[in-house]
């Protein structure tokens, strides 16, 4: 019995020492911090004020834009997290943090979500104070931060439709099996001519961003689920840290901004690629671009290319 007690103490001491060594090893592993999913948290780059008061165009935002970041590869159901303040895609591993401002896609397709740590949803449990308001107003007409608006925290909206396929008022319109925006393109659906039938099929089940450009291109288009003409939509986004942006979605198709060129062509224009434009202001400002202090920028996420348009007149 005495031998057993001595052996048990030795085992406990050895286990305790190994535990300490294991913890020390984790703490001293190249200065990196790991969570339970083995995701490596990288130091955050300080915010640069040059992002404010300039128009930023983001093209082709999709999950493949997070390639190269440290950590687990993204799952196709992961939301696409984007930082308006750093005009960059954020790895899904930072979901519970204030490093991102707008969540898109994921298992909800074209759904949009803000980042608020005090409300159930993406980012819950972080210090984030974000959210957004959806305005039934054209982007260019939103000059001031609205004095009365309902900020959804975090908010979740997508399609401008009533019924099973929609969530009410949203920044995108889905045409279902036809195309109520371009009915002339789907007249040959079900045609006996396979070439005509295929061409018509390419214009069915499209998702259009309710942008100013769409309304200008098709001014008589009416929403099949809502009475009346289509109207442009603008998001007022409160960032995770309390600043504000006005934002307009432009497209859901890769390399395709012009709504007249959108079709179901997975080879040449794959879907699931968000394009949008926005202007960011600080929390204590009230005017969007009242004085545009800096030239606009274009960020092509899929090509990892940023272009500053220095030739603009400011």
pLDDT tens sequence for the chain (314 residues) = 433 344 444 444 444 333 433 433 433 434 444 444 556 667 777 777 889 999 999 999 987 656 554 444 455 556 789 999 999 988 888 889 999 999 987 554 678 889 999 988 788 899 999 999 989 899 999 999 988 888 877 766 667 754 334 456 789 988 888 999 999 999 999 999 999 999 999 999 999 999 999 999 999 988 766 667 888 999 999 999 999 999 999 999 999 999 999 998 877 788 889 999 999 999 999 898 765 678 899 999 988 899 999 887 66
If asked whether residues 6 and 137 sit together in one domain, one would say: no
Q: What is the pLDDT of residue 156?
A: 66
Q: Which two tokens stand for residue 275?
A: 């394009």
With respect to residue 282, please indicate whether it lies within any of the assigned structural domains: yes
If asked whether residues 51 and 21 sit together in one domain, one would say: no
If asked whether residues 102 and 162 sit together in one domain, one would say: yes
DSSP type of residue 124: T
With respect to residue 40, please indicate whether it lies within any of the assigned structural domains: no
If asked whether residues 116 and 19 sit together in one domain, one would say: no
If asked whether residues 96 and 182 sit together in one domain, one would say: yes
With respect to residue 120, please indicate whether it lies within any of the assigned structural domains: yes
With respect to residue 117, please indicate whether it lies within any of the assigned structural domains: yes
Range of the domain at 16: 2-31
Which neighbouring-strand residues pair with 40?
34
If asked whether residues 94 and 21 sit together in one domain, one would say: no
If asked whether residues 265 and 222 sit together in one domain, one would say: yes
Q: What is the pLDDT of residue 161?
A: 58
Q: What is the pLDDT of residue 169?
A: 75
If asked whether residues 155 and 204 sit together in one domain, one would say: yes
Strands 40-41 and 244-253: unpaired
If asked whether residues 23 and 66 sit together in one domain, one would say: no
With respect to residue 242, please indicate whether it lies within any of the assigned structural domains: yes
Q: Which two tokens stand for residue 87?
A: 């005009």
With respect to residue 131, please indicate whether it lies within any of the assigned structural domains: yes
Q: What is the pLDDT of residue 292?
A: 62
If asked whether residues 79 and 216 sit together in one domain, one would say: yes
Q: What is the pLDDT of residue 214?
A: 96
If asked whether residues 79 and 132 sit together in one domain, one would say: yes
With respect to residue 36, please indicate whether it lies within any of the assigned structural domains: no
If asked whether residues 68 and 26 sit together in one domain, one would say: no
Strands 33-34 and 40-41: antiparallel
Count of domains observed in the chain? 2
With respect to residue 314, please indicate whether it lies within any of the assigned structural domains: no
Distance between CA atoms of 142 and 145, rounded to whole angstroms?
Answer: 8
Q: Which two tokens stand for residue 131?
A: 């959210």
């Amino acid at each position: 019995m005495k031998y057993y007690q001595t052996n048990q103490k030795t085992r406990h001491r050895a286990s305790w020492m190994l535990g300490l060594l294991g913890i020390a090893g984790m703490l001293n592993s190249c200065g990196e911090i790991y969570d339970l999913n083995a995701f490596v948290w990288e130091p955050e780059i300080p915010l640069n004020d040059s992002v404010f008061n300039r128009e930023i165009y983001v093209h082709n935002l999709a999950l493949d834009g997070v390639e190269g970041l440290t950590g687990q590869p993204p799952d196709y159901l992961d939301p696409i997290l984007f930082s308006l303040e750093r005009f960059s895609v954020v790895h899904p591993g930072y979901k519970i943090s204030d490093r991102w401002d707008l969540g898109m896609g994921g298992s909800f397709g074209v759904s949009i979500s803000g980042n608020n740590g005090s409300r159930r949803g993406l980012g819950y449990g972080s210090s984030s104070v974000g959210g957004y308001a959806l305005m039934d107003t054209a982007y260019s007409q939103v000059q001031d931060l609205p004095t009365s608006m309902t900020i959804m925290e975090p908010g979740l909206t997508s399609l401008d439709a009533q019924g099973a396929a929609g969530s009410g008022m949203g920044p995108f319109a889905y045409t279902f099996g036809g195309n109520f925006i371009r009915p002339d393109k789907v007249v040959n659906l079900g045609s006996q001519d396979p070439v005509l039938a295929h061409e018509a099929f390419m214009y069915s089940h499209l998702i259009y961003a309710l942008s100013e450009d769409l309304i200008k291109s098709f001014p008589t288009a009416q929403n099949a689920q809502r009475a009346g003409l289509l109207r442009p939509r603008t998001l007022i986004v409160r960032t995770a840290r309390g600043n504000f942006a006005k934002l307009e979605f432009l497209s859901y198709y890769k390399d395709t901004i012009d709504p007249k060129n959108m079709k179901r062509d997975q080879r040449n224009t794959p879907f699931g690629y968000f394009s949008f434009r926005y202007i960011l202001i600080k929390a204590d400002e009230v005017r969007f671009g009242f004085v545009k202090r800096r030239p606009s920028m274009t960020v092509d996420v899929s090509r990892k290319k940023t272009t500053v348009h220095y030739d603009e007149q400011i």
